Amino acid sequence: MAEKTLSEALQDCTVRCQNMQAPLTARLEAFANDVRKLSPDFADIVDRMIEHLKATGVGENAPKPGEPLPNFMMPDQNGRLQTLDDLIAKGPLVIAFHRGHWCPYCRINAQALAAIYREVKSLGAELVAITPESERFNAELTQGSRDTFPILSDMDNGYALMLNLAFLVSDEKRRAMTAAGWDFSTFQGNTHWTLPIPATFIVGQDGLVKARFIDPDYRKRMDTAEILTALKRLAN
């Protein structure tokens, strides 16, 4: 019997962390700890990549609170074109960049966002995720969730590049990911090995960023409680 890849060995860990009764930050940390226990070498490679991204300032020049977010037009998982202008015409918008449906951290994050989606809507806001994957793979990101929000396809990371959020995966990390069973080339439809920083923006109806979370460490995301707090502030 063939030995399991790291991605296969972590499947049960992903489900366990998705179902934890804990804040999103705690669930993501629990999964990161599982990765380090199963493969300290892989975790060390992740640490080195993140240190490099922070040193090079990836994401630092993305729109800040008070600055406008550029408009976009992208298809959602159902093939419908969505634009920033149309979405904010209805109310504030939460935009959460994800690496893809294959990423366990993104699946944990996406399920946590789905859990607050009804409350987001009740506050008069909308929530969308953006990934560099094609529509058919985006449909799998929130698989099993009761509520599904729009997931937009940013092909070739064009919008992420515009926002200074995209980066080229290092050769060391690419080799480690491929060996671990995470070759995402097929899902993106190219072999560029480019990913977005999983940033979160909250945009007002005036098109200006009201809050943001940007961290090159993809193991960290804006907690859902912080998202709701920011939206409640806008609603008052």
pLDDT digits (tens, 9 = 90+) for 88-143: 999 999 999 999 999 999 999 999 999 999 999 999 999 999 999 999 899 899 87
Q: What residue spans define the domains of the chain?
A: 6-235
Average pLDDT estimate for 193-208: 97
Report domain 6-235's class: alpha beta
- Say what the pTM is: 0.95
Q: Does the structure show a pLDDT above 60 at 228?
A: yes
| Alpha helices (H) along the chain | 6-9, 11-18, 24-38, 40-56, 84-88, 104-122, 135-138, 158-162, 171-180, 185-188, 224-235
Q: Specify the pLDDT at position 2.
A: 59
Q: Specify the pLDDT at position 148.
A: 85
- Contact (Cβ atoms closer than 8 angstroms) between residue 157 and residue 187: no
Mean model confidence pLDDT for the chain: 95
Rounded to whole angstroms, what are the CA distances from 14 to 6, 7, 29, 182, 215? 12, 10, 12, 14, 21
Q: Does the structure show a pLDDT above 90 at 1?
A: no
- Closest by CA position to 133, among listed 195, 218, 82: 195
pLDDT digits (tens, 9 = 90+) for 165-174: 999 999 999 9
Q: For a pLDDT cut of 70, what percent of the chain falls above it?
A: 99
Q: Specify the pLDDT at position 142.
A: 84
Q: Specify the pLDDT at position 91.
A: 96
